[in-house]
Structure formats: C-alpha cells, structure tokens
Structure 1
C-alpha cells in the first residue's frame, strides 16, 4: 500500500474509532470520512462495507488491549497488572457498547478471533496473578472477562462501573 493510502486508512480507522465511540455502530459513514479529512470515495475504497470498517475498528481495539496486557505484565506486579488490565477492558466494554455484537452479526461472518486473543492476553495475567498468590487460585480468565462485561452492561454510568469493578477486584483477591 502506498504511504498516502496507508495514511488515509489510518486516519479513517482513528476517526471511525472516535465517532463510533460517541455515536455507536450506526454512526454516519460520511461523518467518519469528514472527520478523517477524506472523501466518501476514499472511505469506500478502503472499506467497501460498513461491516468491514466496523471489523477493522473492533479488531484494532482488541489488539490495543492485548498490547496493553503485555505492557502491564512487564511494568507492574502481577495483581496490579491484572487489575489495571481489567480497568482497561471495562473501559473498552463501556466505549464499544454494541460494536462487538454488530461485528459478530455481520453477514460476512468473518471472525477476527478477537475472543481468543482476549482470552490469551487476560489468561497470561490471571496465571501470573495466581502464581504470585494475589488472586484466588480458582479464578479463571473467563470469570474476569464475563465479570467486566456484566458490569459494563449493568452499570448506569462509567463512575458506577468503576465502583463495581473495584468491589469485584476485592472479591478476586486471596
């Protein structure tokens, strides 16, 4: 891909990420193109369907979470790394409400295997925290992922979600 084409694609993904976080998966594609500083034709050359753009945004957000898990594992103690990553995952769930469901229901059926990537990234953090004795021995990665997703769905505000997560983190500790 040419440098300018890659730059346009990156700007489109960044704009789409911001607009979708604010307006949800049904956000205007024209607004996304406008925010990226490109025409609608450029958007459609890179992403021929809404689903292809949503998939790119979702996959990019998941990859960011996976990178964050690796970074936290290197710079924080195991229990703190897991707690910080859960906070990041909760923010992802709150910000991308509806995006995952829309992507997974897309007719193309292309599954970027995001769930496996999340389980792997979170699983490493859970294993480290269990080995360090900072979380209960019976805690599994599925537990923490479902916990954060449930909090995001149940909370009526981001502040409430943060509070519920802090309560849940106490319950995970040994």
Structure 2
C-alpha cells in the first residue's frame, strides 16, 4: 500500500506520481538509465571543483600571483554554469525517467500544472515514436489519497501500446 497524500495538493500529487515511475517501468521490463543525471552531477561537481581550486589559490598565493589564475577560473566557472543552466533547462526539461529494455529505450517527461489535476505525460520511445497523453489523477488515486499502483501500471501499459 502506498502512503497517504493530499490529492488536492498538486506538488504532493506530482511527487508521488514521479516517484512511482521507476517501479512501474521496472514491471514493464525497463531498467533505469542514469546517464542524464550523471552528466548533471559531473557538471555540478566540476563547478564545485573550480571553486575549491580558486579558494586554495587565494589562500596559498598573493593577490598579484593568483590574479591570472583567478580570472581563468572565474571564466571556467562561468562557462560551466551556463552549460549547467542550458542542460537543466533544455535537455533535462521535465524528464523524470529514462529507461532501457532489450528492444527499446524510453524517455518519460511529466508535467502537472499548479491547481490542475491532470498529469501530462510524454512518452518518447525511440527516435520516431512520441505519445502525449493526460492522466487524470482521480483514475489512479483513491478518494482517501492512496496511489493504486496497479491502475497506474495498467495505464502506462496501455499508453506504451500506442507508442
């Protein structure tokens, strides 16, 4: 049984549905692929590493000795920050799950507008197949606020047949 949520709070509703995606797709024969998340982490750690090097240079060297290095580090930090922003804004845009099966790869993007209880789902299965669908939240939640995982699994199974 799932945890009880307030189905009238859209952030809580979205979070519960997003957290259920790995379980649903593992039942459908997909294994989660973490490449997009790993890339985001590498960029973020690189930004932190540049900040740490900048701090160490500032601590160990005089101002004039470290000035050229600091300028390079600030420029590198700027470039990595822009890359990070672009990556999260345009590449990871609403992507909640990426998975692979023996025969295909799937990317699931979801969206839930504030005060709207329709869960917008976009399933991209391979380069040529894209299905946009809407899941009304009342179809997979009980009145009390429990997620019915079997109904969510059946709904995604039907949508994948369309893809």
Same-fold call, TM cutoff 0.5:
no
Higher relative contact order (CA 8 A, sep 6+): 2
Larger radius of gyration: 2
Q: Which has the higher strand share?
A: 2
Normalization by structure 2: what TM-score?
Answer: 0.30
